[in-house]
């Protein structure tokens, strides 16, 4: 059965967090992929739920809104 991704963990430094999570033993169901608007990888939590580890690129429309919140 295909499981949908319903959780998103947004980060300001994808590769830092990805490397830290790998060292911590977190299982990634899909490897990192750099796309036009983001960098993303899919990982599993302790209960088997799938999460996106996501960093939006500066050219994404939501990226400027996120920066305004900080």
Domains of the chain: 7-69 (3.30.720.110)
Residue 1 has pLDDT above 60, yes or no: no
Residue 17 has pLDDT above 90, yes or no: yes
Q: Which residue has the higher pLDDT, 42 or 60?
A: 42
| Phi, then psi, of 49 in degrees rounded to 5 | -70, 140
* DSSP secondary structure letter of residue 19: H
pLDDT at position 67? 64
pLDDT at position 52? 96
What is the pTM (predicted TM-score) of this model? 0.81
Q: How confident is the model at residue 57 (pLDDT cuts 50, 70, 90)?
A: confident
């Amino acid at each position: 059965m295909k499981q949908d991704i319903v959780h998103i963990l947004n980060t300001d430094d994808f590769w830092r967090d990805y490397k830290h999570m790998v060292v911590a033993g977190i299982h990634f169901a899909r490897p990192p992929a750099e796309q036009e608007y983001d960098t993303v990888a899919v990982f599993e939590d302790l209960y088997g739920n799938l999460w996106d580890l996501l960093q939006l690129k500066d050219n994404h429309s939501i990226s400027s809104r996120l920066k305004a919140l900080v």
